[in-house]
Amino acid sequence: MACGKVRPKRELIRLVRISGGGMEVDAGGKRVGRGAYLCRAPECWEIGLKKGRLEHALRTTLTQDNREQLIGYGKELG
């Protein structure tokens, strides 16, 4: 979603909108709810979170705390 590269679904990480208005990583890819996918590259996570692309795709607004948690998760992937 951030870099625009087409990859197999299994190579991507799914984020899902949760009922409280934030997002969580859906490690199994099976959670119910509106989802969006990012590749494992840390720069894609930064683009998706900083430019509001994920918020737009998931139709939600992130809290600063939730945003920092997701950026940290993206950095751990690299």
pLDDT of 42: 84
Cα 28 from chain centroid (whole Å): 14
pTM above 0.75, yes or no: yes
Query: Please, what are the domains in the chain?
Result: 12-77 (3.30.1230.10)
The pLDDT tens digits of the residues spanning 43-70 come to 888 888 888 888 898 998 888 888 888 8
Q: pLDDT-derived band of residue 1, with 50, 70 and 90 as boundaries?
A: low
Within 8 A by CB and 6+ apart from 26, the residues are 13, 14, 15, 16, 35
Pick the more confident residue, 20 or 76. Answer: 76
